[in-house]
Amino acid sequence: FDHVKNAFWNDIRNAKTCAWMVAALILSRRATPSAWLPYLPAGRYAQSIERQIVRWLDNKHINATDIYGPAVMKALRHWGPHVLKLALDTSMLFNTYCMIRISILFRGRAVPLVTRVIKHASAQVSTEQLTPIIAQARGILAAAGIDNVRFLADRGFCDVELMDLLSQCGWNYIIRIKSSLLLCAANGQRLCKVGEVALQVGEAKCFHNMRLTGQKYGPVHLALARPAHGQDTWQVVSNEPTSLETLEVYGERFGIEEGFLD
């Protein structure tokens, strides 16, 4: 209750109901209100408790944004010096709108931080379209006193302009890259395409102080791996020295996809 009572409620009783619902959701591990009944304050009839939940969910005077924002900010202000991991992804709505979301990765889940919906016929968006969203996320984290950030994104966002923007924010990043990207040595000498690096099944290789694309962007660090199971090779770039742990950390990005399914 202490975590939600300071939000902008039209009635404090709604805050208490919200707190009980969150507790029941966590304890039951179910998103079905009927499964929450054993964990809610005992009433005369189970049906009356369930009706109370339904009325709360349908209450047009409860503004989710006014409640969610203060709760997230309170949690962020207690984050401390630990690395905060962000994930970026998009999802199409009705084949007409693109939802762009930056989420906080925490305990296997993705907590939305910034969401924006634009009229756009593709899930692929440009760095220009991402810039105001990243700026908003940076402003929120700065207000919470957080500057130790690691940003994770899929290969659909593989763009040297985005990498440069994240570096300007003072953030570290791990981004999956495309096999077609040109790989250059530290001195700018062209070597090969990323996908042409030979890897045995179950093998991983790390390359440090490399440059990417014809723009010879860098220096950056790469981690490449060919899993023992599955044919999809993992290829990621980072502004931090890479290791096997880099690939493990990148794997946490998939939590945002679960968030979209939710």
Comparing CA positions, the residue from 259, 218, 217, 221 lying closest to residue 241 is: 221
| Ramachandran angles phi, psi of 19, nearest 5° | -60, -40
This model's pTM is above 0.75: yes
Tokens 């946490």, located at residue? 252
Cβ count within 10 A of residue 158: 21
Helix (H, G, I), strand (E, B) or coil at 98: strand
The structure tokens listed for 20 are: 């009980």
Are the C-beta atoms of residues 76 and 140 closer than 8 Å to each other? yes
Tokens 């054993």, located at residue? 38
Cβ partners under 8 Å of residue 179, min gap 6: 193, 194, 195, 196, 233, 235
Q: Where are the beta strands (DSSP E) in 49-160?
A: 84-93, 97-106, 109-119, 149-153
* Residue 153 to residue 157: CA distance in whole angstroms: 6
Cβ count within 10 A of residue 39: 14
Q: What is the pLDDT of residue 44?
A: 62
Q: What is the pLDDT of residue 1?
A: 76
The structure tokens listed for 215 are: 């723009």
Q: What is the pLDDT of residue 43?
A: 62
Q: What is the pLDDT of residue 8?
A: 76
Q: What is the pLDDT of residue 3?
A: 72
Q: Which residues of the chain have pLDDT under 50?
A: none
Instruction: From residue 242, give the alpha-carbon distance in Å to each of 228, 238, 246.
Output: 20, 7, 6
Cβ count within 10 A of residue 17: 20
Q: What is the pLDDT of residue 11?
A: 84
